Amino acid sequence: MSKIHTKTGPEGDYYRCEANSLNELARADVLMVAKVVSFGTDFISTVQIESRKPSSQLFSKFGKLLAKLHKYKSSQYGFWEDNFIGATPQLNIANGTEMCNWADFFFNKRLLFQYLLAEKNNLTTYSINRGFLKIESNISSTLNGMEEEGASLLHGDLWYGNFICNTEDNAVLIDPAVYYGHRETDLAMCRLFGGFTSDFFISYDLEYPLLPGWREREKIYKLYHLMNHLNLFGRSYLSSVEECIGSIQ
């Protein structure tokens, strides 16, 4: 009989949303995903994953499988419910042009939401305000053409701590913030805090090559997560947000 891992915390919709995200990833049947057993208003139980230290080969396998996951598509951006990125609400229900225009979706549902939250939290500065206006003016041209690739199923919060290497040396996804969007957003998060080897990105690109201009787009995608960390953890992330926003053309 499988052992069960239970995560608990304050009451809310977090655990239902996490369960729905895990089940959506499992539906694609590409990467291994923590298996949901049950959930409630203050807990989620999953089958316990017996872990080991990842080998160098894990990242080559992982990169290729993530590329295959990103080939699992939806007809529109977003998701059928809002969820959470960490403890921050993540708006996924697309309206109007957001359903099929990636720049509109990402600006309105990702960057603008985080910016307004930072403003409410008194965490914006002159350089952030100025940089954000520039992004608003240029984002349509920066993200132009991404609709060609369609809306990929995304983990949504894929930093190094959100997968576990099991005893068979396979990556098992945990703690997702799922939605359908442009695939480079997952890769930007993988690069943001490090830990993923060059083999991971090489094997990804061999399976599903990135379009030209990805390095500039990556800055915008990283900004979403940095602004979220600013809102979650405060001014310790202020310089990182200012540096990122200042680097965006």
Instruction: For helices 126-142 and 238-247, give the axis angle rounded to 10 degrees.
Output: 40
Is 146 buried (19+), middle (13-18) or exposed (0-12) by CB count in 10 A?
A: buried
Q: Which of 29, 42, 104, 157 is catalytic?
A: 157
Q: Are 49 and 164 in contact (CB under 8 A)?
A: yes
Convert the pLDDT of each residue in 19-66 to its tens digit.
999 999 999 999 999 999 999 999 999 999 999 999 989 999 999 999
Q: Which CATH topology does 54-247 take?
A: Aminoglycoside 3'-phosphotransferase; Chain: A, domain 2 (3.90.1200)
Find, among 243, 222, 90, 204, the residue nearest to 159 by Cα. Answer: 222
Is 68 buried (19+), middle (13-18) or exposed (0-12) by CB count in 10 A?
A: middle
What is the rounded distance in angstroms from the CA atom of residue 41 to the CA atom of residue 120?
27
Give me the tens of pLDDT residue by residue for the chain, a chain 249 residues long: 689 999 999 999 999 999 999 999 999 999 999 999 999 999 999 999 999 999 989 999 999 999 999 999 999 999 999 999 999 999 999 999 999 999 999 999 999 999 999 999 999 999 999 999 999 999 999 999 999 999 999 999 999 999 999 999 999 999 999 999 999 999 999 999 999 999 999 999 999 999 999 999 999 999 999 999 999 999 999 999 999 999 998
What is the rounded distance in angstroms from the CA atom of residue 203 to the CA atom of residue 36?
29
- Catalytic status, residue 199: no
Q: Annotate 164-194 with b (16+ C-beta within 10 A) or e (fewer).
A: bbbeeebbbbbbbbbbbbbbbbbbbbbebee
**What pLDDT score does 1 carry?**
65
Q: Are 4 and 42 in contact (CB under 8 A)?
A: no
Is 120 buried (19+), middle (13-18) or exposed (0-12) by CB count in 10 A?
A: exposed
